[in-house]
Amino acid sequence: MKTKVIFRIFKGEVIAIFPELPGDYNPRLTCLSYQHIGQHGAASVNLTEDTRPAKLAEYAPLMEELTSIGYDLRVGHRASRKDYNARVKACEVTK
């Protein structure tokens, strides 16, 4: 199963945002993210307001890193209501 990822530039660094995956216990406010330094962590679902889309040349190294640790990625450009519903459902399953 492919994991949706959105690559953005945040404070000069590429960040991978996983809009379908919860970042913590509150999927309404956070989703999972990944950066070279710090790796996995929770990110605000409103993070896109403080970022810009990353270009392929900018995110290719991070995409390669994610693939090397086992992700099968599907690159997206926007988070959707469907992504939100998937995050909420993932938290309900783990309770």
pLDDT tens-place string over residues 73-86: 999 999 999 999 99
This prediction has a pTM of 0.90
In the block, tokens 């989703």 appear at: 31
The closest of 5, 2, 3, 4 to 53, measured between CA atoms, is: 5
Instruction: Provide the 10 A C-beta neighbour count for residue 7.
Output: 23
Q: Of 61-65, 79-83, 91-95, which gets the smallest average pLDDT? A: 91-95
Q: Which two structure tokens, joined as six digits, stand for 18?
A: 């996983």
Instruction: Provide the 10 A C-beta neighbour count for residue 27.
Output: 23
Confidence of residue 15 (pLDDT cuts 50, 70, 90): very high
Cβ-based burial of 72 (10 A; exposed 0-12, middle 13-18, buried ≥19):
exposed
Q: Which two structure tokens, joined as six digits, stand for 65?
A: 């890193």
